Chain A
């Protein structure tokens, strides 16, 4: 079956512009996560959606970052007024349920470059 898909695969933007990154999770997966990986770093948790519950936004680095998940499926991560330190690979993952013991399936990521 189809895995997690993300678009665009690459995005180059100028400092100060807004960007939107999209994630299509595996059909039927109720949990959706956003992570980012900066150069030479591990994956950093950003935000977590589980069903209809309020999202866990504890990992968002600043109020320039926001995310929404429409209809319990597709999610959009928005970065406003991008800065050079936002340059990273943004990864989306989904799992069949929330909680600590469910494997997460990752998309290929969106490489964001802020010039």
Chain B
């Protein structure tokens, strides 16, 4: 079942912060975050594993609440380059690259 992302869209000024949430109805092993710019491939940002391990982007942080089956992506001091659509992808077990993606959150950063 597809995870649900919120909000659907965010508009920011440069330097402002944003939080994007991802919620699943199924038990999760890991949560992956990707950013996609228009006409381009989704690009990996962050992976959060059951047990608290995180790997990914230096300037972006995220949290993973295993009990609530939720993850949040924190974008601080946003830059113009942060604009794009953010997707969370969830994995219920160690099934390698088979992810179930949310519907996406469109982030727009203005000067």
Is this pair of chains taken from one and the same complex?
no
